[in-house]
Amino acid sequence: MFTALLVAAAVGDFRTRRIPNRLVLSIAVLGFVASVVAYPVGAGLLKAVTGLLVGLGLWLPFYLLGWLGAGDVKLFAAAAAWLGPVDAVEGAVVGACAGALLAILWMIGARGVKRTAETLGMATGSPAILTPDNSAVRSTLPYGVPIAMGALWAGWLPRLFMP
């Protein structure tokens, strides 16, 4: 169920650049149910609540900076209810790496290799070049895809980065 819902969110975001709140709510509710079924009620609720809060806390600053949409942040927080706090951190790291790769590929598709290399080179000295106000690419990037990838990675291959 976890995989199917995240794939649906990623595909939907890729096609429409939107992640429906109903889908996000379904992921969160089922994450709470799965945690309570897998663990004693108190421990399951604690895992789901702390996972959701950690997931929200990890991505919310990027929404506040204008780098992500609200749907992306809500999607990861909902998925983190399934993962718990430790795996949410791992999923966020994987999702951020996948997102960086996607952003570079997206820039190459929109601007070409030479212009992308120039932009990234200039960004090392002036990171403001990559802010949403200065980037034509950000508004079309389906970041729900790497968010879902990170959550799925953490759900299926946990502890890659952490002992």
Give, for all 163 residues of the chain, the pLDDT tens digit: 999 999 999 999 999 999 999 999 999 999 999 999 999 999 999 999 999 999 999 999 999 988 889 999 999 999 999 999 999 999 999 999 999 999 899 889 888 999 989 988 888 888 777 765 554 444 578 999 999 999 999 999 877 665 5
- Which residues make Cβ contacts (< 8 Å) with residue 81, sequence separation at least 6? 27, 28, 31, 32, 35, 48, 49, 51, 52, 55
Q: Report yes or no on 161 lying in a domain.
A: no
Q: Which of 3, 34, 6 is nearest to 147 (CA)?
A: 6
**pLDDT score recorded for residue 123:** 83
Domain count within the chain? 1
**pLDDT score recorded for residue 111:** 86
Q: Tell me 26's DSSP state.
A: H
Place of tokens 């990234």: 120
Could you tell me the residue range of the domain that residue 27 belongs to? 2-156
**pLDDT score recorded for residue 141:** 84
Q: Report yes or no on 134 lying in a domain.
A: yes
Q: Tell me 65's DSSP state.
A: T
- Which residues make Cβ contacts (< 8 Å) with residue 104, sequence separation at least 6? 116, 120
Place of tokens 């590929």: 105
